[in-house]
Structure 1
Amino acid sequence: MMSRTMKAKVACAVLLAVAVLLSGLFWYFRIYTKTPEYALRTIESALDQHDEALFLRHVQLDAVLDTGYDDFMTGTMDAEFGHSHEASAALEDFSKMLKPAFISMLKDAVHTRLTTGEWPSVNPADEAADTENILSRIGVRDLTFREIANLTQNDEAQTAEADVIAHQGEADSDFTFKILLAPSEEGDWQVVSIQNLHEYAVVLQQARRLRIESYLEESNAIIARHDQTVGAAQLRLYSVLGAGALGSQATRDMARQIMEQDILADWQERRDELSAVSVPRSMQSLQQLRLKICDLHIAYAQGYATWMTDKNAATIRAAENSLRQAEVLEVEASFLVQRAKRSFGDKME
């Protein structure tokens, strides 16, 4: 049987364990849950668990979006247009006009993210197109959380600051967001603002500018090189047609050979090379236009080569129709290139 002394020791040990457990629970529920660190960890957990109520308990979403919009748009305008007073005044008025709708759509997108775990689906044909433009504008789809660092608390000011490090895929670099927290009336710490969205907007715009410059430089070099090759082939074609009679089979065979082996092959190579270029999101329309131009020139070259054999008027009419469409689209593509350059002013010259 257990001695009285041993029983007393066991009882003391049990009481001590209970006391430690209770003090731990008291510390967790009454102290730790009322700290900035707990708030940040809970926000992270709420995002993972799609718990919108928990997220909103620790994020003053309206306040974050209100100040965040102003800072981000100011940073974007500074990055795009510099500090021109005339441009700034006009753009500031325009920005204020857009603000209510911008914030409303962004709140809806955040709601979707918090309840489903995903941002709204991308479908330019539906009503979510404007929301997608906003999400693309702020680069949120390309942000990947890394870590929370450098959490500091100012007891006198009743605030806390934290560094939230995220990877920005579009810029291909990490960015440190400066988060400001303050306690609510219930004592829960909440994120009340992101303090450096102006800087984030500038970094994002600079990265986008560099990607656009890189895309235009690489793709324009491809186009220029192939234009030179096709131009030389067309001169050979004109020489053959000028030297012989179009009714001659030998002339037609030589023309078909140049069209198939030189011009058609070169347009196919051009398309393949353009398809391999990395394309910024803002240049997707231009890229698709350029590929369509390649397809139309390929169709023209194939039709022209076929006409050299079948001598069918319908064949050449269809080919020439493809060529006319290509020429129209080439004007539009040139316009998009110039607009991209103008959007960044002299910085791309």
Structure 2
Amino acid sequence: MDDYTWQKMLRQRRVRQRRRLYLLILLLAACIGTAIWYGFFYTRTPEYALKQLSLALDQHDSARFQKYVNVEVLSSRAYDDLTVDLFAYDSTLTADTKAMFEKFYILIKPQLTKGLEQSVLGRIDSGSWSLPEGTDILKGRQLGIDFERFLERSQLRNTSFVSLGNVEHNGTTVTAELKVREDYTQTPFTLQLVLEQSKDGHWQVVYIKNYRQYLDTIAPLQNSDIASYIDNTESIVEAYNYDFIAYRQRFRELSATANGRLNEQQRSRLAKLLENEVIPALKKRQQRLDEIDVPAGAQYLARQRQQSTETTIKAWQHFIKGLRENSQAEFSTAETLHKQELAIDLRIQDIIHHTAISKNIPNLP
């Protein structure tokens, strides 16, 4: 190989090496630029926040959810939307009573919004909804309100995420479209999430601009179905109510004592009444109710009735066992179940009462 050829090969090698070096520098610069863009710009965009929210829901990560949602502000605004006209159309209440109830809902707002936050975060972590337990003041009706019913009226449990829509920048705030579906009536709706930047620069959802509109869209559809279901089952409920009134009277007669203690014959007769007549009547009533077609929006009421029947039967079964075994433990279990059944029955009455009131609500434009 002569010198010319050798020099030519060396020059070509140097050119290739420089090209590789330039390419490596460009790639390195691109990586650094991407990292800078991602770390300092993209992570501080609303689009990134929304993506992180989606991941938080998919991965059951409530900590991440709380970073990109101002849960306290969101629950407070949602509470106001949910209770703003709770008693406006209840003609059975006087003006003073309405004012008293409205003041009451203002007083209990901290407890209910906190309960709402805990329920949502629990749903994210576990994938299922739970209710207050133990000594929680929201358990049952200790606070004077049925939190289970309150949660149901929020529509949170029966609203499914469909997709994200447009993201619109409006100066210091951003509005993002969240397409959802109400599960009972299969009604589609587009919620408008409002995002603002936090102090450290990342974006957070702070409230839902049209949450009240969503409630006003869904509630009439559900109430119409509930009213139809109530009408279709009214004759069944009334017929069996007469039977249960008669059973209640017989129960009182059989359990009447001079000293407050049931004798063996009384315990036997009460057990037979409950086992042979009351429980079969409860099962028969539920069977007839189950034969009625349940409109989509009335599924919650139908489930509450089923739950009431099941709980009542369990309570009586433990009571019967207590009668036959003279077991205080069984009587205590029966009493606990009976209290649960009463809470469910009160909830059913609330739903029926609210549905009756909703007939007076004017059609929304």
TM bin, normalised by shorter chain, reads 0.5 to 0.7
Q: How does 1:1-349 map to 2 (within 5 A)?
A: 3-74=13-84, 76-77=86-87, 89-120=99-130, 128-129=139-140, 130-155=146-171, 158-220=172-234, 272=287, 274-276=289-291, 277-278=293-294, 279-286=298-305, 339=353, 342-346=356-360
Which residue number corresponds to residue 252 of structure 1?
none
- Work out whether residues 76 and 205 of structure 1, in 8 Å CA contact, stay in contact via their aligned partners in 2: no
- What residue identity is the alignment partner of 1:144? S
d(CA) in 2 for partners of 1:85, 1:167:
37
Secondary structure of 1:119's match?
coil
Instruction: Count matched residues.
Output: 266
Shift of 1:115: 2.8
- Work out whether residues 75 and 202 of structure 1, in 8 Å CA contact, stay in contact via their aligned partners in 2: no
- What residue identity is the alignment partner of 1:203? T
- Work out whether residues 163 and 176 of structure 1, in 8 Å CA contact, stay in contact via their aligned partners in 2: yes
Give the superposed CA RMSD. 4.0
Shift of 1:117: 3.0
More helix by share: 1
Shift of 1:110: 2.4
Return 5+ residue gaps in structure 2 as ranges.
1-8, 141-145, 241-281, 312-344
- Work out whether residues 283 and 309 of structure 2, in 8 Å CA contact, stay in contact via their aligned partners in 1: no
Q: State TM-score, norm by structure 2.
A: 0.61
CA offsets 1:63-105 (integer angstroms, 9 cap, x no match): 1111221122115555777xx9777644422321231221121
Q: State TM-score, norm by structure 1.
A: 0.63
Change in 2 beyond 3 A, CA 1:135/1:340: closer
Secondary structure of 2:177's match?
strand
Return 5+ residue gaps in structure 1 as ranges.
228-266, 293-331
d(CA) in 2 for partners of 1:122, 1:104:
11
Change in 2 beyond 3 A, CA 1:31/1:280: same
Change in 2 beyond 3 A, CA 1:93/1:338: same
- Work out whether residues 89 and 360 of structure 2, in 8 Å CA contact, stay in contact via their aligned partners in 1: no
Q: Percent identity?
A: 25
- Work out whether residues 75 and 198 of structure 1, in 8 Å CA contact, stay in contact via their aligned partners in 2: no
Change in 2 beyond 3 A, CA 1:131/1:347: closer
